[in-house]
Structure formats: C-alpha cells, structure tokens
Amino acid sequence: MSLRIERVSKRFGAVAAVREVSLEVKEGEFMALLGPSGSGKTTLLRIVGGLELPEEGKLDFDGQELTHMPARERRAGFVFQHYALFRHMTVAQNIAFGLDVRPMGKRPPRREIAARVDALLKRMQLDDMGKRYPSQLSGGQRQRVALARALAIEPRILLLDEPFGALDAKVRKDLRQWLRALHDEMKLTTIMVTHDQDEALALADRVAVMNEGRIEQVGPPAQVIGSPATPFVRDFLGQDGEGI
Amino acid sequence: MSTKPSTQFRYPTKDSATVRIGLTIAGIAYIALFLFTPLIAVFAEALRNGTAAFVAAVTEKDALAAMWLTLTVAAIAVPLNTLFGLAAAWAVAKFDFTGKSLLITLIDLPFSVSPVISGLVYVLLFGAQGYLGPWLDELGIKIIFTVTGLVLATVFVTFPFVARELIPLMQEQGTAEEEAALSLGASGWKMFWLVTLPNVRWGLLYGVLLCNARAMGEFGAVSVVSGHIRGLTNTMPLHVEILYNEYNFAAAFSVASLLAMLALVTLLLKSFLEWRYGDEIAATHRH
C-alpha cells in the first residue's frame, strides 16, 4: 500500500507553497519531510491528509486516486502540531471520536469501542487518564492522546505534523524512541514533518529534504548526510559528519 | 549614617491612595446617579399606591396582552437571530471569502442606526404609502401595525448580538479542532454539532441573553411600526408609554418595574456565567 505523490502543486495567493513535488512513500515506511520553515513540508502533508486541495498533480494510494477525495473519507490519521484535542471531551471520548462519528452501519458496538479505547490507552501508557480532560494533561501526555485518537480509526497512513515541536528536549527524546518502537511494531506507513534534523535522522527510514516548495533530495539518512545532492542539503544538514 | 528614603515603597503600576479612593468614589457616584437612582425610583413609584394597586396594574387585561405580546415577539426574534448569528459567525470565523468584511459591517449596522430610523425603514418599505405597499395590499398581506411588523423591527435591532459574541470567540478558537474532526471521519454536520457548538456554548448563551433583553425592552423601532393598538399591537414598553401619557403613573411604573426586574435577572445570569466560566469568556471578549 504505497502512496504516490505526482507533480503536486499548491499556491496560496501569490506564494507557491508546493512546486511540482513528486514522491513515493513505500508501504510500512517511515518517511520524514525535513526542511526549514516555509519549505512547504506542512502544506504537502496537509495535501496528503486532504486538509488542502492541490491545484495540480495527482495523489494515489495503492491504486486508488485520492486527489479530490474529502479528508473524512481518506482514513489518514493526522496528528497536529498543537494536538488539536477536543477540549470539552475527556481523553477517552477524544480517542473514541473517530469511531463514534461513523454512520450507524459502520459503527462498532459501544462495548467494542470502549475496549479499543482501553487498549489504546494502555498502549500509549495513559492507563488511568481516560476520564481526564486535555487541560489536565502535560504536553507529552496530550501528544500521546492525539496519537491514540489518530490510531483509533485504524488508518492506512499516519501523518505527523511536527509532533514533538511543542515539547521540551527530554520529553522529545523519550517520545522519539517510543514512536520508533511503535512504528516498528505496527508497520504503519508514516510521514512525519519536522524541521529538527536530529529527529528526522533518528526516526526515519528515508528523509525527503525540502526547500522552497521543492524536494531537494530523498534517501536514507546516511545517504542524505554522506552524499548531499545539492548545496542546500549540505548546508542545511550542517556538520553532521558523525553519522546517525 | 544611613538615610531612609523619604517615600514609602510603592508598586510601579499602582496609583496613590488618594487617586484610587477618588476614582472609586467617582465611579460609584456615577453609577449611583445614573443607574441606581432611576432603578430605585421605578420600584418606589410602582408601589406608591400600595401593593394592591401594583397587582391590579400588572394583571389588567391590556397589560397582560402587552406581556404576552412581548414574550411572543422575543420568542420569535431571539431564535431567528441565534440561528443567524451562529451561521454568520461560522462563515466569518472559519472561512475566507470575498465580501467577508462587508458582511461584518452589515452585521454591525443595526448598532449604528437609531432604533426609530430602523422602524421608519420598515414603514417606508411595507407601509400603505411605502415602496412595497401596493404590492402587499394586492396580496392581502399586512405588515405595519401588526405583530409581523413588530417581529421584523425587533429582529432588525437585535440582529448583531449573538453574531458579535460568537465571531471573536470562534476566530480565537481557530479551525484546528474542526480539521481534526474531519480527518477522523466526521461529516460536516457532526463536526459542527459535536465539536464547534460545544466549544462556543457559553458565548452563545451570553449572546442569547443579551439578544433577549434587548428584544423585550425595545421601544423606538417597535413604536414606529406598532400603531399602538391597545391589547393588540402593544408590547410592554409601549404599554408603559400609554399608561404614562394617561397620567396613570403608578400603573406605568408598575409595568415598568417588571421590565426592570427582567433587566436585573439578565444581569444576574450574566454575572453567574462570568463567574463560572469567566476564563473562557473573558479571554475572547472583543467589542
């Protein structure tokens, strides 16, 4: 189940955010979109998730054309930078949301939803937090709730928008390892946007370095550091000569 | 030889005691003069001829009809403007479109127009000599001097209340939660009902409260449109005017005191909401 992005472009008014980007994300792969602010990586992620519509180009997921499909039909789990948890719902209700809003025919029975929520809470190490409200949680806990919420709908692709951006360094490091372990276990196709190269290089199977709406280089972390394809890639990845 | 500073320590952002006390007294005096005194006068005058006369005045046939009409008009105008306010705030806060600033200006229009002029506009449009007068006459539809006209005029003057409460609130809340809801598979309606609406419920309630208070107390616009037909097209404020013009002061003040009580109840509810949900409301207030 691979994702194909073909020559996708998107403008906002006079600004071209994404310029004819083509990328293939293989099934089960962890792909990082790395680049400075304004490079178009978040816009590209949102296009994949259906939160923006491209002006040109095609999106393909395992043969099914996604380009103009509305976000709610895509089954792409999206984790927002600032979590976007539903503030007036408990943690459990947040996680269950994707299942609760399914139409009558497709909705699992209440017991099953509750069971799935419990399983996810355990998986995310949020064991007794089900009845709490987002405002009562720490940043790291909120991010795990956001992830659980996205995973509850059994998405076919996971989209992470700078998931650790709002957290402090120690929490970030811990969550990084935990996320990689989770990915190895679930083998879910994942795209993560980040401007933090350490994060990208530590987590990803392949890294796509973006600049001003274009992809400058795609490849495994070692290759991107060791053989930068353009001056931008070389400069952006700085003195990372020690490898991963 | 150490010398103590001659002035005591004072917080940089706090004024001296004289200034603080002076301003507080001035503020209280102002409120006492312009708010408390008239309010107390209304209740005092209402009870001038004793409680029996008070009860008689508020249970008299025309007074009851006026109360009923006030409630009816509010019961129609407030839900209409709530729906409209929700829709307008939704459009303005979550979307970008040409004509957005025009819409916002139009929403604020009733605030800048004198209520009497608002009523006059309806007479000019729908009255017998009005622009649409002959056409309505042909269809047998009467608007001016009927309850319909009263409702229309009230809807116009209470137009902005709910919208103006919700727009800054929704703008501040942004679209992230809605996007999350969509990405999780919610339909547009479910997203609105389960995510957007609960987030604005207190601002909504507050706006409805204000809208209701104004709808019940409106005088100018309704007066122009009404025709003052006793028992038929008189709301409570209009009834008060009639009683007063007949030199029936105690009765006038009696009915007026009911309106004053409505104002007090509204204020109490508003204070309660602010006390209970102050953070949510205060953080997003922008008038």
pLDDT, tens only, A56-90: 999 999 888 888 899 999 999 999 999 999 998 99
Question: Which residue, among B116, B131, B132, B139, has the nearest Cα to B222 in the 3D structure?
Answer: B116
CB half-sphere exposure, B145, CA atoms < 13 A: 9
Q: What is the pLDDT along chain B (287 residues), one digit of tens a residue?
A: 555 555 667 777 777 888 889 999 999 999 989 988 988 999 998 888 888 888 888 888 889 999 999 999 999 999 999 999 999 999 998 888 888 989 999 999 998 899 999 889 888 988 888 888 888 888 888 888 888 889 999 999 998 999 999 999 898 888 899 999 999 999 999 999 999 999 888 889 889 999 999 999 999 999 999 888 877 888 999 999 999 999 988 899 999 999 899 888 888 888 887 788 776 655 444 32
- Tell me whether A166 touches chain B (CB under 8 Å): no
- Predicted confidence at residue A193, as pLDDT, reads 95
* Minimal CA separation from B198 to chain A, in Å: 7
Give how far Cα B82 sits from Cα of A217, B88, B160, Å. 53, 10, 10
How far apart CA A197 and CA A203 sit, in angstroms, is 10
Task: Let me know the angle formed at the C-alpha of B56 by B50 and B59, rounded to the nearest 5 degrees.
Answer: 140
Q: Do A97 and B184 touch (CB under 8 A)?
A: yes
Q: HSE, CB side, 13 Å, CA atoms: give it for residue B4.
A: 4
B276: part of which helix (H) or strand (E)?
Answer: helix B249-282
What is the C-alpha to C-alpha distance for residues B120 and B156, in angstroms, rounded to an integer?
Answer: 12
Query: Looking at beta carbons, which residues of chain B come within 8 Å of A51?
Result: 179, 182-183
The two three-digit tokens of residue B228, written as one number: 């003052």
pTM given for the model? 0.81
Q: Give the sign of the dihedral formed by CA A200, CA A201, CA A202, CA A207.
A: positive
Residues 6+ apart with CB under 8 A from A160: A79, A190, A191, A192, A193
Using CA coordinates, name the residue in chain A closest to B186.
A101
d(CA A177, CA A182): 9
Q: Indicate the SS3 state at residue B164.
A: helix
Taking the Cβ of residue B180 and every Cβ of chain A, the question of whether any pair is shorter than 8 Å is answered with yes
User: How many angstroms separate the CA of residue B36 from the nearest CA in chain A?
Assistant: 39
Contact B184 A49 (CB under 8 A): no
Rounded to a whole number of angstroms, the distance between the first and last alpha carbons of chain B is: 57
CA distances from B64 to B75, B134, B236 (A): 16, 34, 9
Q: How many CB atoms lie within 10 A of CB A122?
A: 11
**Does residue A244 carry a pLDDT above 50?**
no
Question: Which of A42, A74, A87, A101 to probe the B interface (max B CBs under 10 A)?
Answer: A101
